[in-house]
Homo-oligomer: A and B are copies of this chain.
């Protein structure tokens, strides 16, 4: 393990944008991503890994800039044609995106472990980052709603998060083992960064894999988290709603409290500067900077601010 390594716990869109910036601030080969696979789903018999793939597409510069997910210029002819066979249309997988899922599924059926499949996909996209699935074993995020359990993508995509989240569970997590390299990447990195992703359904499943939370808690690395909440709101996704419905303060401070004991440095937006003292009372340093990643320059500046703070640490 390269002691200069930046290890990033990553969910979907927010993490993918953050990683675009980090890849401008440090060389790709110094980045290890631990990717959430709790969002994975089976669609038309294919194994789809939305969070892993959005990170790959973003780092390859191939993500659809209009939607923030999927591949730029992709078409949807396969999912349209599948409707003839009774498939619902809510999960909208593009044709080129589907090619990725097709190859992944083939490899998994051939008996490849997920980490080996992801390594092949990353190489096929010409990336020098290392992306590790959190586990080779299946873990599935389940949303506990008022009318019962929902697989995560049903909650997220079909129901557009318009269901009150009363709880979450990570089916399979108890029996899952961290993928090879995950614990080392937590223990031996220069820094471990919890990306500005949903703490419950993006970072949460990774921490639910036995051994991960402990390895992060005991890691000598500089441990950093970036708030996905800016001025009480989230850029994208249900993090704010979940904070509220699960009984937390809907603010960067509410997120910081969730990461207490796991993180040394908490990054929050200038809009939330007044929360910095309360964050520091939790036992972590607060870094106040611009965190809205609306342009390449802003993505890079956020990453550079974090890298500078990490490098400045003893």
Contacts and interface: CB of A to CB of B under 8 A. Distances in A.
Interface of A: 44-46, 74-75, 77-82, 84-87, 95-96, 98-100, 102-103, 105-106, 109, 120-121, 124-125
Contacts of A75: 75, 77, 95
Residue from A81, A84, A109, A121 having most chain B Cβ neighbours under 10 A: A81
Contact of A85 (B44, B82, B87, B99): B99
Interface of A is mostly: helix
Contacts of A105: 45
A120 to B, nearest CB: 8
Contact of A78 (B95, B106, B121): B95
A242 to B, nearest CB: 32
Contact of A98 (B74, B78, B124): B78
Given A81-B98, A87-B103, 11 more contacts: A44-B103, A45-B102, A45-B105, A46-B102, A75-B95, A77-B96, A77-B99, A79-B99, A81-B96, A82-B103, A85-B120
Contacts of A100: 81, 85
